[in-house]
């Protein structure tokens, strides 16, 4: 079983709500999490020569193997969770511009629609082992 790292927008209320749910749904303990601006996130961007300020994205990353951004990251995440979540990958049948368009619409408006924390909140102690620096 491979461990996947999910990089997310730490201050985003919507992103944190999803991360909290993913912690609960990750029955095989195969997911780890870090904010985009964490040491782990910065390492990811530096190694790939990507500018984190140009991405408004969640990242799905299996170190030394693969990574996916934005909508594709969510599809990879659902495949990794397995079970009933795999059915959600059916939305991957839509052309990339459609799934990316929906993803970017939500990403652009997430602070306005859901809010923003002043700082990245601390994880539930039960799931603290899942969070990387």
3-state class of 42 per DSSP?
Answer: helix
**pLDDT reported for residue 1:** 61
Rounded to 10 degrees, what is the CA torsion of 116, 7, 101, 91?
-120
Pairing label, strands 31-35, 4-8: parallel
Task: Please count the structural domains in the chain.
Answer: 1
Express each pLDDT in 70-87 by its tens digit: 999 999 999 999 888 888
**pLDDT reported for residue 120:** 81
> What residue numbers bound the domain in which 82 lies?
4-130
């Amino acid at each position: 079983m491979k461990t996947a790292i999910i990089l997310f927008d730490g201050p985003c209320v919507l992103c944190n709500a999803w991360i909290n749910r993913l912690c609960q749904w990750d029955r095989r303990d195969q997911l780890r999490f870090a904010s985009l601006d964490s040491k782990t996130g910065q390492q990811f961007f530096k190694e790939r020569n990507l500018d984190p300020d140009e991405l408004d994205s969640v990242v799905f990353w299996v170190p030394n193997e693969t990574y996916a951004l934005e909508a594709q990251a969510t599809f990879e995440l659902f495949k990794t969770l397995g079970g009933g979540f795999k059915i959600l990958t059916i939305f991957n049948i839509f052309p990339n511009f459609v799934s990316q368009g929906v993803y970017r619409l939500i990403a652009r408006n997430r602070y306005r629609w859901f809010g923003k924390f002043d700082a990245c909140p601390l994880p539930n102690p039960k799931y603290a082992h899942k969070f990387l620096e």
